[in-house]
């Protein structure tokens, strides 16, 4: 199902994580099975079992691994967005950030779509044909409308 988008949460630097463990995580992320990552850095929480574990991963290694997977996630997400080109997506306008000119919407596959003000539909479903893909969202034309969906910038 090419319209499906799969994300994964990843914690880097959990006590005992080896270079081989991290390499395996990276290979899995690069396998094509995952479209984006939410990357978290491990940090001790007092009173947890993990906080008492040996083999702590040094903070600088955790930071480096986080940066590697975050960068990889950006590339994966951009590729997932490119796969949506030409597709029709149902989107729901959700919110507008303070001071922003555009409303944001989310598609039924969780792709982010940026809409111009005049297309806000009050949480109604709007159909969009995707004709542009960006790192952080997609853009296109509203179906049965001449209103242009704004470029993500």
Domain annotation covers residue 104: yes
Indicate the length of the chain as a whole number. 153
Same domain? 95 vs 40:
no
Same domain? 92 vs 74:
no
Token code pair at residue 101: 């000119």
pLDDT score of 147:
46
**CATH number for the domain including 53?**
3.30.750.200
Report the mean per-residue pLDDT for the chain: 86
Same domain? 76 vs 127:
no
pTM listed for this prediction: 0.81
Domain annotation covers residue 2: no
Query: Bridge-partner residues for 106, per DSSP?
Result: 92, 112
Q: Structural domain of residue 128, as residue ranges?
A: 88-142
Same domain? 15 vs 74:
yes
* Domain-ending residue, one of 44, 68, 83: 83
Same domain? 76 vs 30:
yes
Residues 34-48 have pLDDT tens digits of 999 999 999 999 999
More confident call, 150 vs 96 = 96
Residues 6+ apart with CB under 8 A from 22: 12, 65
Same domain? 49 vs 93:
no
Same domain? 16 vs 51:
yes
Strands 88-95 and 36-41 turn out to be unpaired
Where helices occur in 11-140 by DSSP H, the ranges are: 19-30, 59-83
**N-terminal to C-terminal alpha carbon distance within the chain:** 29
The model's confidence at residue 146, banded by pLDDT at 50, 70 and 90, is very low
Token code pair at residue 90: 């149902």
Number of independent structural domains in the chain:
2
What average pLDDT does range 30-59 have in this prediction? Answer: 95
What average pLDDT does range 133-139 have in this prediction? Answer: 88
The model's confidence at residue 148, banded by pLDDT at 50, 70 and 90, is very low
The model's confidence at residue 81, banded by pLDDT at 50, 70 and 90, is very high
């Amino acid at each position: 199902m090419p319209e499906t988008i799969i994300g994964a949460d990843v914690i880097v630097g959990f006590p005992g994580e080896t270079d081989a463990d991290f390499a395996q995580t990276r290979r899995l992320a690069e396998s094509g099975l995952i479209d984006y990552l939410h990357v978290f850095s491990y940090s001790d929480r007092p009173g947890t079992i993990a906080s008492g574990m040996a083999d702590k991963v040094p903070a600088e290694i955790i930071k480096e691994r986080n940066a590697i997977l975050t960068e990889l996630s950006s590339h994966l997400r951009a590729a997932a967005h490119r796969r949506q080109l030409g597709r029709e997506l149902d989107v729901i306008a959700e919110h507008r950030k303070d001071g922003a000119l555009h409303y944001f919407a989310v598609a039924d596959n969780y792709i982010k779509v940026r809409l111009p003000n005049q297309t806000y539909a009050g949480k109604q479903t709007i159909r969009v044909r995707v004709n542009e893909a960006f790192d952080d969202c997609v853009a296109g034309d509203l179906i049965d409308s001449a209103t242009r969906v704004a470029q993500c910038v």
